[in-house]
Amino acid sequence: MTSMAAEQFRDRVAAIIADCQTAAAASPYDWKVCVGAVGAARAEFEKVSVTGTAQDYAAALISRLERLRDGYFDPDGEYTSGRSDIGTVVEKIRKASRLVGQ
């Protein structure tokens, strides 16, 4: 895969995060916490350089988001800390990266 493929994968990740943001806003439980968590994932996504292959980029992004997820805790949540929303983003990106690698 070329660096162009990494750019295309970045576009796919942007769409995944947008979808997760929409779902978070519609959450019946602690929607503000959910939206904040996905927003934190988006902020980390924006910091990751698009370099190497799509798989390289995906691995770097997933690693960074997993660190965020593992340390994330929004104390304002009654039903959630927001960690699971970041986990959802990670899993959707992981699934998309597997499809790119095929």
Between CA 100 and CA 13 the distance in angstroms is 12
pLDDT digits over 40-88, tens only?
999 999 999 999 999 999 999 999 999 999 999 999 999 999 999 999 9
CB count in 10 Å sphere of residue 79: 10
Nearest CA to 58 among 49, 67, 68? 49
pLDDT digits over 5-38, tens only?
899 999 999 999 999 999 999 999 899 999 999 9
Q: Residue 86 gets which letter from DSSP?
A: H
* pTM, rounded to two decimals: 0.91
Relative orientation angle of helices 83-100 and 31-47, to the nearest 10 degrees: 50
Between CA 86 and CA 6 the distance in angstroms is 21
Are 60 and 48 in contact by the 8 Å Cβ rule? The answer is yes
